Structure 1
Amino acid sequence: MGKKSDCCAIVVAAGSSTRMALGFSKQFVPLCGVPAIVRTLSAFDAAELIQCTVVVCRGEDMARIKDEIQKYKIRKVTAVVQGGITRQQSVAAGIAAAPENAAYFAIHDGARALITPEEINVSVEDAFQCGASALAVPVKDTIKIAGKNNYVVSTPERSTLWAVQTPQVFERRLYRKAMEQASLDGGDYTDDCQLVEHIGVKVHLCMGTYSNSKLTTVEDVEIAEAVLKSRGIQ
């Protein structure tokens, strides 16, 4: 029987990686010699508030991800499962494979390979207090809302704008309720916070770091390696 605070990480690595144009999944892009997904999973291995991890990936990536987990001696992964067509379906597949004693889910983008154990612990601890929490950072740039032909419609007040990251951490029953409601309403969300916001739950944002970026383009790989080297990783 698990503790009330048991948290299972759901690492979503099922994207098509089309913007990278690599010919293979960006999860395997080497960052200072180590695959991106291994960097991600190693951080969750080292985070003391994470009890176990479920990896959600494309069917064609499953064998290699299992091989990398074994090669790099990742300890906390309890399941590797195939994702769905959408992010929401992939997260649902991960949650279905999570242990019954998991009281919280920490949902994370596999391509956010620069996440640190400290940031993971901060977001999980915040969810223990608030029920729903996400790492985020204040937006640095002025944001414009554009309309037809890219003409500016309005300019939101920058001081109220945050860029949300992952992990996004939710109490089990709350998240399952949000999933059921989305299914009933036919909703399909690319952001887990939005999923629970839909049932009227307020998500608390806790301060992240600007280095917790997502690998989306080839340029992001160069930046990620520079961050790792600044941390003393060669």
Structure 2
Amino acid sequence: MKKYALIVAGGSGTRMGSPIAKQYLPIGGKPVLMHTLEKFQDADPEIELTLVLPEADFPFWKKLCEEHAFSVPHHLVPGGRSRFQSVKNGLESLKLNQGTVAIHDGVRPFVSREVILQSFREAEAKGSAIAVIPLKDSIRKLTDDGRSIFQERQYFRLVQTPQTFDLSKIKQAFKVQELGHFTDDATVFEHQGWQVHLIAGNPENIKITTPEDMEFADFLIGKKRG
């Protein structure tokens, strides 16, 4: 079955406090996005990669690829005004309707090979595969009247990407109008009445958002090289 991956990277550098969007900042000597794309190619060279970026960033990205002699094959697709629209644009760029597609945050460069491969296997068998990890800390729910209520953490999971789906189903799911409760691709899929299937993610698969995340990312890169 044909495998696709949409790497979505439409963010700005606002929370990073940088004039350059976080996906282009270097870790281990090259931009975050390049590490992410390499993870998918290394997991399975047959995965067809599509990178969704703001169209205004295309020249800058191509320049970075030249500077770093980056040769991982990928297609560029213009992003939208929201993540929902960016993913929709990426899905619409895929001409076929058969296969499986992993949708992954461009700023999650530490996803493991095992998680990527399992996500495709499970999505092919069950229609979806959402990477999650258990909570380590206690959690409390805040109420409208200012109180907090203890929650049993074993009933909750932190959601990561990749979120991998049967291609025809997720394309159908993204034909709807964008709604406020669409916080990720799984909620769009679930809106159709389909059950999402969870798989174990890897704890290192952080989403790089803040300067502290960049410091931890450099640590992880150094640890892998050491």
TM-score strictly above 0.5: yes
Which amino acid is 1:76 matched to? P
Tell me the equivalent position of 1:61.
57
Matched, 1:157 2:152: yes
Conserved? CA contact 2:132–2:198, under 8 Å? yes
Q: What is the alpha-carbon root mean square deviation over aligned residues?
A: 1.8
* Structure 2 residue corresponding to 1:136, chosen from 129, 132, 146: 132
Percent identity, aligned pairs only, is: 32
Aligned counterparts, 1:95-134, within 5 A: 95-100=91-96, 103-134=99-130
| Residues 36 and 111 in structure 1, CA contact (< 8 A), matched pair in contact too | yes
CA shift, 1:51, in A, is: 2.1
Counterpart for residue 71 of structure 2: 74
Instruction: Verify: 1:208 aligned to 2:210, yes or no.
Output: no
1:98-133 Cα offsets, whole Å, 9 max, x none, are 242651111000010112333211211121121111
Aligned-partner Cα distance in 2 for 1:72–1:147? 52
Unaligned runs of 5+ residues in structure 2 are none
The code of the aligned residue for 1:163 comes to: L
Please give the alpha-carbon distance, in whole angstroms, between the structure 2 residues aligned to 1:76 and 1:130: 29
Residues 33 and 9 from structure 1, CA distance in 2 versus in 1: closer, same or farther, beyond 3 angstroms? same
Bigger drift between 83-92 and 96-105 goes to: 96-105
SS at match of 1:155: strand
- The residue identity in structure 2 corresponding to 1:75 is V
Report Cα offsets for 1:22-67 as digits up to 9, x if no partner. Answer: 0111111111111100010111111217521111111232112233
Paired residue secondary structure (2:170):
helix
Alignment of 1:1-12 (within 5 A): 5-12=1-8
Of 29, 32, 40, the residue aligned with 1:36 is 32
| Cα distance in 2, alignment partners of residues 50 and 120 from structure 1 | 13
Question: 1:187 aligns to what?
Answer: 179
* In structure 1, distance between residues paired with 2:155 and 2:21: 35
What is the TM-score with the length of structure 2 in the denominator?
Answer: 0.92
Q: In 2 relative to 1, CA 122–68 (structure 1 residues): closer, same or farther, beyond 3 Å?
A: farther
Gaps in structure 1 of 5+ consecutive residues: none
What secondary structure sits across from 1:173 in the alignment? Answer: helix
Equivalent-residue separation in structure 2 for 1:210 and 1:110 (angstroms): 17
Once superposed, which parts of structure 1, at least 4 consecutive aligned residues long, lie more than 6 Å away? none
Aligned partner letter, 1:231: K
Query: 2:165 corresponds to which residue?
Result: 170
1:88 offset after TM fit, Å?
A: 0.4
Q: Give TM-score scaled by structure 1 length.
A: 0.89
| Equivalent position SS for 1:141 | coil
Rounded to whole Å, the distance in 2 between the matches of 1:50 and 1:110 is: 19
